[in-house]
Amino acid sequence: MKNNDSSMNFENKVIPEAILKEVQIALSHYPDLRETPIEFRFKKKIRKSFMQAQPKFSGLFKDKKNRSYLIMISESFHIENEEFQISEIPSEVLIGWIGHELGHIMDYQERSGLNLLLFGIKYLTSSGFIKEAERAADTFAVNHGMGNYILATKDFIINHAHLSQLYKDRIKRLYLSPDEILNLVEKLHFPEGQL
Ligand SMILES: [Zn+2]
């Protein structure tokens, strides 16, 4: 497993120090993931999202128990024209976002290697499938007691986008993940050239 000076290496988790506290709180809601190797890694930029969870390809066809996962985290992210550095994002918002990503990993864990490959393809090609996958991740987070954090994450996005009150109310009512909300915001403001 790769490591560097600014990361803490636990038995099976690699966590950058800047988000150590938030990751620990989110992980405490998922005792099922205690044995699961997960690396949290900062990236300069992730296309169209702030965080992204995926299985490590090298372990894709290993026994499910031995599979390891990567959660990539963008060093900054945009909502409309505003750019946020990770240090400017409130703790509970980060915890909610990490909890959502851990929800994806819970979902991945049940799947075979082949199923995960198909999952990746469908995620790229079907917006209906994205919705399903995002709902699954949020549902895991909410069922693991992270509902308030998930709401904090959504509120943060909504309150930093220049949306009409009507639209904000609708988003809050609908069961949407942080990823979906960010995508909707982008679509509203940059309707051209979307998937
Ligand atoms: Zn997601």
State pLDDT tens for residues 46-74.
877 789 999 998 888 888 888 999 999 99
- Kindly report the length of the chain: 195
* Cα distance between residue 66 and residue 48, in whole Å: 30
| Centroid of ligand 1 to alpha carbon of 66 (angstroms) | 23
Angstrom distance (rounded) from CA 136 to CA 190: 27
Overall average pLDDT of the 38-47 stretch = 90
Residue 104 CA to ligand 1 center (angstroms) comes to 7
Unique residue bearing structure tokens 């679509």: 187
Quote the ligand 1 centre to 6 CA distance (angstroms).
26
- Per-residue confidence (pLDDT) for residue 1, from 0 to 100: 44
pLDDT computed for residue 9 by the predictor: 65
Report CA(65)–ligand 1 centroid distance (Å): 22
Q: Please name every residue paired with 15 in a beta bridge, in sequence order, or none if there are none.
A: 8
**14 Cα to the center of ligand 1, angstroms:** 20
Lowest model confidence (mean pLDDT) among 21-25, 51-55, 119-123, 125-129: 125-129
pLDDT in tens, 88-105: 999 999 999 999 999 999
pLDDT at 124 over 80: yes
Q: What dihedral do alpha carbons 108, 109, 112, 118 form, nearest 10°?
A: 0
pLDDT of residue 56: 94
What is Dmax (Cα atoms) for the chain? 48
User: How many angstroms does the Cα of residue 152 sit away from the middle of ligand 1?
Assistant: 15
Q: Predicted confidence band at 8 (pLDDT cuts at 50, 70, 90)?
A: low
pTM: 0.84
Q: What is the pLDDT of residue 188?
A: 66
- Give yes or no for a contact between 70 and 39, defined as CB atoms under 8 angstroms apart: yes
Q: 186 vs 64, which has greater pLDDT? A: 64
